[in-house]
Amino acid sequence: MDIEQLLHTRRQFVTAAAASLAVTAFSGAVPFAWGVDLSKSDRPSANNPARVIIDTDPGVDDAFALLLAMRSPELKIEAITAVAGNVPLDITLPNALRMVEIAGRTDIPVAAGAKAPLLRRLVSAAYAHGDNGLGGAVFPEPEIKPVDVPAAELIRQIVRKYPHEVTLITIGPLTNVAAALNADDELAGLVKGLTMMGGSLSGGNITPAAEFNIYVDPEAAHIVFQSGIPLTMVGLDVTRRTSLTGEHVRALLANSSSVSQAAAKIARNAIDHNRAQGFLVGPNMHDSLAVASFLDPSLLKWKEYYVDVETAGELTAGETLGYSPTAGDLRRSPEMEKQAIAAMQIRGSAPTIAGTRVSPVVKEKYVPNTNVAVDVDSERFFELLIGRLTKQ
């Protein structure tokens, strides 16, 4: 199965969604972001928790993100779905189960997902997370078991049960989500939104072009970015500014709760592992920032882009490309911005000498599909993260 076959079932929905979004974008009616409102009244709260599914590949920063989510009363976590990524599935799945036990949240179903990307062999990141995914921090084998339903099917069932209510928080490769979308043509239109840790508009961390989560399964990411789901992208542009430090470890150790002590153990081992690998900073709390951005979008600054994923490049596969008529050298005076937005096309590569085509037009009209985090208040982020993990 090639990428065209994978995308075939998505095209009709995407076309309809893009047409609808074009009306909104050109009318200037998008005040902040694709379904993310900075007004406090619209944020999830303990009295009005948001239904979410967390798709994850634990992973040091995934472990912190899961603990943060499970200590946040603003979230109604309908499921946690594991995917291969930072380490293989036979490690990410028990790590997810361990975090559920540590947090005392065994009410949350955990499902096993994809063992490999849609079309590629798995590339893992044990060099960054250690062979056990937790920087070498050792915990007992989990006592609870995953549910029998595969991750993609569980995602589909929950979204169908609560149409337009469920936000997907994805902090690993997007294989499970793409599989769910491919299995159900109508599913994308029923998802409230998707907040991802993934991508970068400022260079990668596994290649010069690509961020790890997108690099591992660029075909899955392409499907998600083209799905029409309202997307929020928290990528390396901001997560690189969230380095875990010894001071954070000491704050965690000072609290006696099981969550805080487990987080301190993972953090201390992860920092030691990083130093042994020669890294001067980190690890960065990539995934925790994605969860925090959903809890409090005001922690970050945002800009709308049309984002797509390179899947064919020998050196650039997994690169996320952000198109905007008002960014970089394309910036215009305010009075010209509306005209620029209306006239902008999304172009592909220049034609070859041997070819007869002109530069391919990928999209006839510029319509933003992603709200991208472009700046972060790191101090406030860590106040939220450490504060939740040390809360009694």
Where b means 16+ CB within 10 Å and e means fewer, 246-265 reads: eebbebbbebebebbbbbbb
Distance between CA atoms of residues 161 and 21, nearest Å: 25
Reported as a pLDDT band with limits 50, 70 and 90, residue 16 is: very low
Decide: helix, strand or coil at residue 317: coil
- Among residues 222, 248, 273, 286, the one annotated as catalytic is 286
Q: What is the pTM of this model?
A: 0.89
pLDDT at 271: 94
Per-residue pLDDT averaged across 21-36, rounded?
35
Per-residue pLDDT averaged across 73-77, rounded?
98
Distance between CA atoms of residues 85 and 92, nearest Å: 8
Per-residue pLDDT averaged across 73-93, rounded?
97
Please tell me what DSSP assigns to residue 284.
B
Lowest mean pLDDT among 24-33, 95-104, 217-226, 376-385: 24-33
Contacts of 92 (CB under 8 A, 6+ apart): 56, 57, 58, 59, 62, 82, 83, 84, 85, 86, 133, 172
Q: When comparing pLDDT for 132 and 359, which is higher?
A: 132
pLDDT at 356: 59
Per-residue pLDDT averaged across 69-74, rounded?
98
Residues in the chain: 392
- Could you confirm whether 286 is annotated as catalytic? yes
Distance between CA atoms of residues 197 and 294, nearest Å: 11
On average, the pLDDT of the chain sits at 88
Q: Which fold has domain 3-320+368-389?
A: Inosine-uridine Nucleoside N-ribohydrolase; Chain A (3.90.245)
Q: Could you tell me the two tokens for 356?
A: 């007869």
Distance between CA atoms of residues 13 and 190, nearest Å: 11
- Residue pair 89/95 in contact (Cβ under 8 Å)? The answer is no
Q: Give which of 392, 389, 390 is closest to 69, Cα–Cα.
A: 389
Q: Could you tell me the two tokens for 262?
A: 């487990």
Beta strands in the chain (DSSP E): 50-56, 75-82, 110-112, 166-170, 193-197, 231-234, 300-309, 320-323, 346-347, 361-363, 370-376
Q: Is the pLDDT of residue 345 over 50?
A: yes
Please tell me what DSSP assigns to residue 384.
H
For the four alpha carbons of 88, 94, 95 and 97, in that order, the dihedral sign comes to positive
Enumerate the β-bridge partners of residue 82. Answer: 56, 112
pLDDT at 344: 84
Distance between CA atoms of residues 56 and 81, nearest Å: 6
CATH 3.90.245.10 residue ranges for the chain: 3-320+368-389
Reported as a pLDDT band with limits 50, 70 and 90, residue 36 is: very low
Contacts of 20 (CB under 8 A, 6+ apart): none
Q: Is the pLDDT of residue 29 over 50?
A: no
